[in-house]
Structures are given as structure tokens and as C-alpha cells.
Amino acid sequence: MIRFATLFDAIDRTTKTNEKLAALVQYFGHSSHADAAWAAYFLCGYKLRQLVPTKLLRIWAAEEANIPSWLFEESYHSVGDLAETLTLIVPPGEMLDDLSLSHWVEQRLMPLRTMEEADQRNAVIAIWQQSPMQVRLVILKLITGAFRVGVSKSIVTRAIAEHAGVSSDVISHRLMGVWKPTASFFEDLISKEVQDTIVSQPFPFCLAHPIDHELGPESIGPAKDFAAEWKWDGIRGQVIRRNEQVFIWSRGEDLMENRWPEIESAAQLLPNGTVLDGEILASLGENQVLPFAKLQKRIGRKTVSNKLLKEVPVVFQAFDLLQDAGEDIRSRPYSERRLRLDRLLSTIDHPSLERTQLLLGTTWDEWAKIRDRSRETNAEGLMLKRLDASYEVGRVRGVWWKWKVSPYTIDAVLIYAQKGHGKRSGLYTDYTFALWEGETLVPFAKAYSGLDDSEIKDVDKFVRQNTRESFGPVRSVAPALVMEIAFEGLQRSPRHKSGIATRFPRIVRWRHDKKPEDANTLAELMDLLPSIE
Amino acid sequence: MNNFLEYTSQGLYCIPGDFHIDPHSQVERAVVTHAHSDHAPWGCHKYLAAKPCEQLLRLRMSPEAEFRFIPYGEALSVGGVRVSFHPAGHILGSAQIRLEYQGQVGLITGDYKFGTDPTCEAWHPVRCHWMISESTFGLPIYRWPSQESVFQSINKWWQESRDEGNCCLLYGYAIGKSQRLLAGLDPTIGKIYCHGAVEKGNEAYRRTGIALPETTYVGSVTGKHDWRGAMVVAVPSVHGTPWVKKFGRCSTAMASGWMAVRGARRRRSVDRGFVLSDHVDWPSLLTAIDACNPETVWLTHGYTASVARYLVEQRRDARVLDSRGRSEVDQDAADEDASNERTNDSIDPFSGEAKTP
Ligand SMILES: [Zn+2]
């Protein structure tokens, strides 16, 4: 366990990819397969199901620290991270012997879930008593399900690949889908022999790079080298048809079962050995795509009622073909894959299975004009795909580009502030912004990011000096600061005071040049609502 | 707040003695706990402090000022108030100030810490009727690891960085923290260099008779120099400035109590954070208050309200003296002011004779 905690520290400490990679390779090189499997599992972002209710952990920690619960909460507020607070607040323990990661997880952590509360308490206290700070933090992060560390799955994949002497693409594919963190899984993962494809297994997704708004699309090459299509705001997914079965995967690598019955029934019509890449969209068909807000109604529903099926029909808009008649065609150029996709889907007639429409045009100017109309069709902009490129794993530069429309922007007044958690805990970094409605300021969006460190310090100082009232951790401040807020979309929402919910609001800049009375009005925000709702 | 002390906009004021204690700004007569700029402001007319504080205070203040220093434990009567200084263990010459007037004993701790520190005399408790204690780190999340284990990790880091061909940049406040760090470094690992502000502090420490390992002023190194394997002790404000460029490939670290929390560590954007504080942690704060056993405790700096509430629940009479927070940022600001003063060449701290009051 000390080795895993040291790995966590080494990754946490640096921002340099090569140092993280080196630490990972070293870890995998010196670990048993069982430990390596669990490490890979956690580093890829998988979690154990909640082991102990956090409410109990807080109570026991306060008891062990001999402090009242309000002081625990104040400490938590200052630290900004629950597992870390639970680590720091209890006097340090002493490690008797260093057991392996897999032993810890399987023998000491997983059994917690089914224990009676009293036994659970004893077990957790024993963990505190037997763990020095560094190890304790990692264990508590695993217990609270908050284990997160600054590595992407692709870095983990590269590290395993380097350790195993197998190519990253192969490891990446083997890490797709559902797997159990066992020694035998890890053995297969790093095996040099080719493994049979698992029927349900999706391919690693190819991801797009954003086009720099300043540089424009000319920066990526001549328009004739690319195909363009709408960039929809839906759920990226792969539809797999193999062995008479259908699997639908989301980009977050969740197998989505019984969630999209209309797509499942459409996929039954595909020949075996087919893998489509595309987007799940709420749509009335024939490119009448509905806003993401509609699709949201179906996200998270394990079963779908008939009423909802009628209200929010979905389609799968395919834009790529990865496996055709059992053949992995990812290394073929996009132009060829797209033709094969067109040929395949032209034989299938189902309202829930569509192809993206390739947008006519051969110059950036023509596409720029089409892109300007994105919002009318509920698109976010255009996708540009290099005709001669193969289907890459992850975010490889130069293959796929997203050319989004500029975000909406509005000038708003900062009225509430709250201390942030995590990286900037202790400073007022979470703000609520408001717009005018007559003489009153109506809150409409919360934004966390966009200011640089020195601006954050300035706002923090302002908040401390201009607090009007405190409601728990939230402070209301004198309406004086105006900031430009950008967001990707908006929809009506009865749950919001303003009646409007915005997507991904963020601060573009601090408008020092504007007084609060120069900020925009709620009516001006309403004007931005989409025409197809 | 009682019959002989009041809290004014300039800080604590002793009425019969007509002097301020650790004033916030320039006053006529300042009785100071130690030489840090947030306790001993520049520009007062007269200063009274503990004897071991002499070199540091003279280093920082104008030679025009009048100074008087008395040994720890000795008392001086000022307007009927008996004033004495008692070791606080914070930095060289730091003191708790004991005031006795008409049978009432008050204690102002200034900054203080527990534990071993070869660069200053250790804190010891002073019985009193009322006590003004700092609470900079007054939350139960602050529990300092042993100094030995921290220096083990610092020296290990130095050794590893040296073996990788890197230069180590270790940040600590110019006065106090830096010298404590120097005293804990293992000079057999490599050569130790210091930033100008730190080096001036070192000289004052050595003049007081504190043994420090051999150090070289960075500014005295001319021409192309191979910094690999070296340890450079510098003030935090140089981090990320062109000053550090000359050292080439570096591993950077900060030594401070704030490093106990990962968020603070990350905000610093240094490679390593070592938890080494010159203030009391949570358990020490409670122990200190119990040992001095005052009827009333006043809290100043940091988490004053939380500590006061906790103590009241423990059936102690505890109150908040001021809510002047000393956040990480404030403390850095104080430190930076101080180091700017010290590096300002127009003030020559070594000229001029001290006048005795
Ligand atoms: Zn101090």
C-alpha cells in the first residue's frame, strides 16, 4: 500500500506527463498482477461502490479527534476535500505492516460495505490507527469513492503499454468495456499474444480538437482535404452488432442497456460484425434535431415509459463505420469508411438510424456561412474530418476538428460568492451572477472558471470587504463587479429563479470598464432562446 | 479589555505603562515579541525586546530608533507595570511578554511553537490571569509531524535531486524559517547557497551565537556556475521570477505549516511541500492554554472564532481579540514587505550606535 500511496503522491506532485508516465511504468514494473489490476482500475477512474456512508465517517472522525461536529465541518470547509479532512483531523497512526494494495482493497475495504455499523466503525478506526498520513489519504479516497488523480486513461494506457511491450492501441482496446480488476485480467491485458475480440467490446473513440477561434479553419489546411458535417450536442456512442446481439456504448464507456429501445431495434437490422460510431440525439427525424435539454429527460432513466418515448424520440446519427462485415477498417481512410457507411445504411430502413448529412461546400467561406446558421438547427457548429485520415485512438491532432460557433455572451453582475473546493479552496472562487429585471438583480448563472490567479485574489479581497450578508458559506456582496459570461446554450427552466438555465457558463473577462447599471437585462437573455424549443 | 490594557486601532496599548505591544503601525514606544514585520513595524521611536532579539531587530530597524533589550526572565518596571520576556520558541529572540500590574498577570504570546528548534530557545509556559494567544493554525487539521521526520524528507529530497543532477530551491521566510532549515540540512550532501535576504538573517543569527552550517551568498557567485546538486535557500517571493533562472534544472520546495493541506501546496506550484511551521499546531495550542491556565484567553490571528468557540464549550472563558485573519496570503505579504526592507540598500542596519533609553 505504501508503494501505491507513493505513486499517488508522485503523480499528484507533478504536472509533467513524462514524470507521471515514469512513475506509472515503475509502479507497474514492480507490482504483482493483482495489485497492478487494481491500480489500473482506480487510475482509470473506476470506483468501489460506496463502502461507508460519509455521514458516519464524519461523525467517527470527529469522535477520534475529540472535537465537536461543527469544528469538523469548519475544518472541512477550510480544506475543501472530504477524504483529506478525514485524513488530517484524526491524530496520525502507525503502520504495523505494509500489506499489498489488493489485500487492502479485497480484505479490508470491500468487506466494509456489508458490515454492521458497529463493526464498520471498529474497522474504520483500526484503519486510522494503522495508517500514516500519506497512506491514509489514499485509503480514505478509496473509501469515500473520491479517488481522483491527475492522469488520463490514455497516460495509464501508455504506461501499461510501455511496461508490457505491447502497442498502446492494443492495450487501449483491451481496456475498453467492462472488466474485473483481477490478476488474470491484467495478465491477459499485457499478454503479447493476440486476444480474441470480446463480442461486446467497443473501440477506443477518436476525439476532435477545437479550432482556434483566432486562427480560424485556414490554420488546419485547405478545405478540399476535409468533409464537413453538423456538430450535434448529443451523446457520443458506438452501436455494435455482433453474434446476433446489440450493444450500445457511450463515450464514457458505459454500456447502455434498455435505455434506447428504438436504436436497439434499428440495430437489429444491421449485419453481424458491424460497429457504427455516431451521436444519440433527440430528434423528430430528418435532421430536425431537438435541443439537448430534451435528450436530458431520457438520460439517467433506466427504463423508458411509452409516454416518454413519444415525447422525446431519439435517433442514432451514424458518422463513421469502424467494423464492416467483421473487418476492422479503422486504418482505412475516412473517405473510404464514409462510403462504406453510406452503402451499408442505404440498405437499412429504420426511422431511428440515420446518417449525418455531409454539408455541401468546398471552401472555408462556404462552410463559414453554413456554420453561422448552426443555432437555427440546434447544432453547436461544424465537425471537419480529414478525408485521408485513419480512425485514431483518442485526441490525435489534425484528424478531426470541431469548429464551434462562438458562445453566447452577456454582461452580468456578481452578487454572491462562495469559497471554492479543491485546488483553490480557501479563496472565494465560486460566483453567482445576476441580470437586471427592472430595478432588481435576478440571479441566472453560477460560474467558477475564467479568471486568472491575480484576478481571483482581487475578487476574493473584494468579497471579504464588501460582504452584505452571509448565508452559511455563501456571501452576498455589494453589486459592483461586472463580468462577461459566456455559455453554450440556454433553455427555459422553472427551477431557476430567472426561468432560464444556461449550459457551461464561464467568465470570459472582468469588465472593469462597466458599471453594474451597464449590465444586461433578463429580457435580453430571453431573446437568445432557440427558435425550435 | 481590563484595567490596564486596551485594544486600539494601532493594536494593544498598555495604559499605565504608555506603550504599545506588537503595534500595527508606527507608535512612540513599542514593546515587541519578535522581529517579524507584522509584530515589529518599522519607524517606531523606541523599541523594547528580549536580549536575543537584538541583532535581528537592529537589522530591520532604522538606526535612529532607540532600543533596549533585556534578558529572558528579567523584569523592568514601566509606569508601575512589570514587563518581562519569556521564550516563545518561534524564532531567535522571540518572546512571550508578561505584564504584571496591581496583582494581575497578563501574557501576550506573540507567535510561538513547541518542539525542538536549535536556532532558538524553547517555549515554556507562564502562569497568568489572562492570556492573548495566537491561533494562526487553530484548526484540528493542523498537527505537525516531528521535526526529525521533516528534515529526513528534506535531506532525502536534496540527495535524490542531487543524484538526478538538479539544483534544489528551498523556500522559507528570510528570518527564522530559513535559519531553522539551514540548521536541519545535512551539509555533507552538497554546498548550501542563500538568497541575499536570507544571508543577512544568517549573519544576525551567527552574531547572536547560533551555529549554522557554512553558506554562500548567491550574489557573490560570478560567471557561469554549475548549480547541480546545490541547495539554494531563498524567500518564497522569488518563485517563478527570473532570479531563479540561473540555477538551471531545479526542484523547488516550500517549507511552511500551510503545506499540510494539498490545496495550498498546489496553489504554490512548487514540486514539494514540507510541513514545517513556526507556530503552534492544534494540540500544542490546547496544551499551551492548559499549561498557562489563564482565567480568560483572548485569541488573535487565524481561526480565532473557531478556537474561542471550542474553548468556551470546554468551559474556558475565551474571546476573540480581533478578526484580523492571517491567511496564507497575508503572511506572505508580511514576509515580502520584510524582505524588501531588508534588501533596501538605503537602510544600512549596521551603522550608527544604539542609544540606551
Ligand atoms: Zn512571526
Tell whether the model's pLDDT for residue A454 goes beyond 90.
no
8 Å CB contact between B276 and B181 = yes
Tell whether the model's pLDDT for residue A270 goes beyond 50.
yes
Tell whether the model's pLDDT for residue B334 goes beyond 50.
no
Over pLDDT 70: what percentage of chain A? 97
8 Å CB contact between A122 and A130 = no
What's the pLDDT tens digit per position in A333-358? 999 999 999 999 998 889 999 999 88
Over pLDDT 90: what percentage of chain B? 76
pLDDT value for B353:
28
B192-194 and B216-217 strand pairing: parallel
Tell whether the model's pLDDT for residue B348 goes beyond 50.
no
Flag if B263 and A71 touch (Cβ within 8 Å).
Answer: no
pLDDT value for A393:
83
**A316 confidence band (pLDDT: 50, 70, 90):** very high
- When mean pLDDT is compared across A14-28, A38-52, A303-317, B320-334, the lowest value belongs to B320-334
Closest chain B CA to residue A9? B272
A353-355 and A235-242 strand pairing: unpaired
Q: Could you say which of B140, B145, B262 has the minimum Cβ distance to residue A67?
A: B140
pLDDT value for A125:
95
Distances A292 to A171, A282, A286, A320, A455 between C-alpha atoms, Å: 33, 7, 17, 22, 33
Mean pLDDT score of chain B, rounded to an integer?
88
**B323 confidence band (pLDDT: 50, 70, 90):** low
pLDDT value for A253:
66
- pTM of structure: 0.68
Q: Hey, is the C-beta of A301 within 8 angstroms of any chain B C-beta?
A: no
Calculate Rg over the CA atoms of chain B. Answer: 20
Query: Which residues on A lie below 8 Å from B310 (Cβ)?
Result: 67-68, 71
Tell whether the model's pLDDT for residue A200 goes beyond 60.
yes
- Cell numbers for A184, please give them: 488474470
Indicate the residue type of A101: L
8 Å CB contact between A437 and A521 = yes
What's the pLDDT tens digit per position in A475-525? 899 999 999 998 877 888 888 888 888 888 889 889 888 889 889 999 888
> With 0-12 CB in 10 A as exposed, 13-18 as middle and 19+ as buried, what is B242?
exposed
| Residue A229 backbone dihedrals phi, psi, to 5 degrees | -145, 165
Closest chain A CA to residue B273? A13
Tell whether the model's pLDDT for residue B78 goes beyond 70.
yes
Q: Which residue has the higher pLDDT, B232 or A188?
A: B232
Q: Which residue has the higher pLDDT, B354 or B220?
A: B220
pLDDT value for A332:
94
8 Å CB contact between A352 and A263 = yes
DSSP string covering A213-273, please? TTT-GGGG--GGGEEEEEE--SEEEEEEEETTEEEEEETT--B--SS-HHHHHHHTTSPSS
Tell whether the model's pLDDT for residue B199 goes beyond 90.
yes
- When mean pLDDT is compared across A272-286, A426-440, B230-244, B336-350, the lowest value belongs to B336-350
What's the pLDDT tens digit per position in B202-231? 999 999 999 999 999 999 998 889 999 999
Count Cβ atoms below 10 Å from residue B99 Cβ, excluding itself.
25
Flag if B142 and A88 touch (Cβ within 8 Å).
Answer: yes
What's the pLDDT tens digit per position in A64-113? 999 999 999 999 998 989 999 999 999 988 877 788 999 999 999 999 99
8 Å CB contact between A314 and A269 = no
What's the pLDDT tens digit per position in B144-153? 999 999 999 9
Distance B345 CA to ligand 1 centre (A): 24
Chain A with chain B: Cβ pairs closer than 8 A: 61
pLDDT value for B355:
27
Closest-CA distance of chain A to residue B316, Å = 15
Q: Hey, is the C-beta of A426 within 8 angstroms of any chain B C-beta?
A: yes
What's the pLDDT tens digit per position in B92-142? 999 999 999 999 999 999 999 998 899 999 999 999 999 999 999 999 999
Distance B107 CA to ligand 1 centre (A): 17
Task: Give the Cα separation of A479 and A454 in Å (integer).
Answer: 21
Preferred mutation among A12, A15, A84, A88 to probe B, highest tally of B CBs within 10 A: A88
Flag if A79 and B261 touch (Cβ within 8 Å).
Answer: yes
Closest chain B CA to residue A133? B145
The residue among B333, B261, B241, B267 whose CA lies nearest residue A453 is B267
Mean pLDDT score of chain A, rounded to an integer?
88
- When mean pLDDT is compared across A71-80, A194-203, B265-274, the lowest value belongs to A194-203
What's the pLDDT tens digit per position in A99-133? 899 999 999 999 999 999 999 999 999 999 998 88
**B1 confidence band (pLDDT: 50, 70, 90):** low
pLDDT value for A194:
60
Angle value at C-alpha B37, between B36 and B42, nearest 5 degrees? 130
B104-108 and B130-135 strand pairing: parallel
Distance B276 CA to ligand 1 centre (A): 14
**Residue B240 — left, alpha, or beta (φ > 0 → left; ψ -120 to 50 → alpha)?**
left
Cross-strand pairs, A250: A237
Distance A455 CA to ligand 1 centre (A): 28
Closest chain A CA to residue B309? A71
Flag if A68 and B260 touch (Cβ within 8 Å).
Answer: no
Tell whether the model's pLDDT for residue A55 goes beyond 80.
yes
**Residue B102 — left, alpha, or beta (φ > 0 → left; ψ -120 to 50 → alpha)?**
left
Instruction: Calculate the dihedral angle through the C-alpha atoms of B205, B210, B211, B215, rounding to the nearest 10 degrees.
Output: 0
Tell whether the model's pLDDT for residue A439 goes beyond 60.
yes
Distances A174 to A166, A178, A255, A276, B343 between C-alpha atoms, Å: 11, 10, 15, 19, 60
Task: Give the Cα separation of B301 and B144 in Å (integer).
Answer: 18
Residues in chain A: 533
Distance B90 CA to ligand 1 centre (A): 7
Task: Give the Cα separation of A10 and B251 in Å (integer).
Answer: 13
Q: Which residue has the higher pLDDT, B212 or B269?
A: B212
Distance B355 CA to ligand 1 centre (A): 26
Distance B339 CA to ligand 1 centre (A): 13
Closest-CA distance of chain B to residue A15, Å = 9
DSSP structural state of residue A179: -
Closest chain A CA to residue B140? A89
Closest-CA distance of chain B to residue A452, Å = 12
DSSP string covering A408-430, please? EEEEEEEEEEEEB-GGGBTSEEE
pLDDT value for A308:
86
pLDDT value for B330:
40
